[in-house]
Amino acid sequence: MKKFVTIDKNLLNELMNYTDAKTKTAVVAQAVKEHIRRSKLKLLAKQLGSIAVDDRAITDGNLADLERARRLEQIGVSKSKIHPGFPF
């Protein structure tokens, strides 16, 4: 879709210096996509800040994981078999 917009020449040239875009059309499209991405991230950050987190459930889950790992060690299961490739 063709649209005509007026963009400051110096601003467009500066933007082209900061991207790998080869054409003015590509650099404008990239800038629009980046602006949309950042706007979505800001919206997501606001939403995440409003989600209720059950700290007690997280703590209980962590304690259960530690207890499970302790029991596995007692019966001789090595940590590398519990989480292969994960350095403890």
Residues in the chain, pLDDT under 50: 87-88
- Tell me the per-residue pLDDT of 24-48, one tens digit each, with 9 for 90 and over: 999 999 999 999 999 999 988 888 7
Domain positions in the chain are 9-48
pLDDT at 39: 93
8, 13, 15, 21: CA torsion to nearest 10: 130
CA-wise closest residue to 24 among 36, 34, 39, 10? 10
CA distances from 27 to 10, 44, 54, 71 (A): 13, 26, 44, 57
Predicted structure pTM score = 0.52
pLDDT at 88: 46
